[in-house]
Amino acid sequence: MLNETHDPALRSWVASANLAGADFPIQNLPFGVFRRQASHEQWRIGVAIGAEILDLSKAAEYLGELDQASLAACRAENLNQLMSLTPAVWSTIRLQLSRMLREGSSLQAELTPLLLAQAEAEMALPAAIGDYTDFYASIFHATNIGSMFRPDNPLLPNYKYVPIGYHGRASSIRVSGASIKRPHGQTKAPDAEVPTFGPCRLLDYELELGFWVGQGNELGQPVSIEQAEHHVFGVCLLNDWSARDIQAWEYQPLGPFLAKNFISSISPWVVTLEALAPYRCPAFERPADDPAPLAYLDSPANRSAGGLDLTLEVSLQTASMRQAGQAAEVLSLGNFSDMYWTFAQMLTHHTSNGCNLEPGDLLGSGTISGPSKNSRGCLMELTWRGQEPIQLSNGEQRRFLQAGDEVIIRGWCGASDGLKIGLGECRGVILD
């Protein structure tokens, strides 16, 4: 639903929010958790506006008529309490923030002292993550990976019926900027009789979108496809770092384990579904000979607007590039609209057996890949299992990640050089 907060003509009295191409214009207003750098201040909720952060814990008194539970949620140390409230409350808070931060607001003098430059802030995980589930929602990614290992049968028969997923490890999720230590594990060379234990050689990134669960559901009570989006608070960028050689040896018969749970990185800002409303699009158009989703995964609203026109970019800066002052180089550019399964279908299927989700749970989309080579969302696909190395402009090659490499993921809706709803960045440097 569109409302006055989506008006593209809105401008903020925070000047940096009005710059063309800014990630956080007044039409965005994402939530995060911050404190001043090099301080021992209490973590608190902030709202990104331009290059600044509005301290919500202090600005809450200006939000108008909110009940005590809503005010307490705005003053909490993380977003879990806010996520547990209703979509109507989320919308009310967003509307009041928009009015407070617009040009001409009578509150500019009171709110200006409550701003902190993002460059001076330290960011934390937005919420305490109880559980993390990673899906496999891109048919292009699934087909590419399947083609490498099962050329005669790349896509397993259940894929077009079931939003495939697995339960990941919440304890190893870190906010953008955390360094990536190369994992150790068992691997087995094709010509070896037994496996060996040692450092991963085929370290990879995975471009994903994360979905934050808002209101949960009771154990035994599924969430219908019509209600699924009411249980999604917002989205973030997600890099599910992967050890491909460890994965190849361990994934059968139960799927990913140590190859996936050594670390996952997320962007610090949670962009609400309401902020993304102008960029909704139809769900992925399935080929005529594909089966229709089963009834519990299908609805007119999901078909017409279950997709999201969100551009996603992956860049790489090697240690040599950094030393030479060279900018990161774009490796791929994709779009979330290419995903076979929508996030409403993922959440609905997740709860279809009565599984209970809770506020602050994180769902990953799985690698976001499109139909073209330059829209593939991981090195495993871009280099076709290392057989087709990427040639960088400084003469270096990459099959998989090396020490000193920094992977930068960005995402946005709208025009990259105009009004856009940005998700910020998700960064990570390989230590060794």
> Binding site for Mg(2+): what residues are annotated?
240, 260, 264
d(CA 398, CA 202): 11
Catalytic residue status for 230: no
- Give the residue numbers of the binding site for substrate: 136, 150, 247, 251, 367
Find the catalytic residue in 141, 231, 349, 350. 141
Task: Let me know if 101 is exposed, middle or buried by CB neighbors in 10 A (0-12, 13-18, 19+).
Answer: buried
Task: Let me know if 409 is exposed, middle or buried by CB neighbors in 10 A (0-12, 13-18, 19+).
Answer: buried
d(CA 70, CA 88): 11
- Burial letters 190-202, b for 16+ CB under 10 A, else e: eeeeeeeeeebeb
- Residue 104: which region, alpha, beta or left (left: phi > 0; alpha: psi -120 to 50)? left
- Compute how many other C-beta atoms are within 10 angstroms of the C-beta atom of residue 288: 5
- Give the residue numbers of the binding site: 134, 136, 150, 206, 208, 240, 247, 251, 260, 264, 367
What is residue 118's DSSP assignment? Answer: G
- Give the residue numbers of the binding site for Ca(2+): 134, 206, 208, 240
Strands (E), 309-361: 311-317, 329-335
Catalytic machinery residues = 141
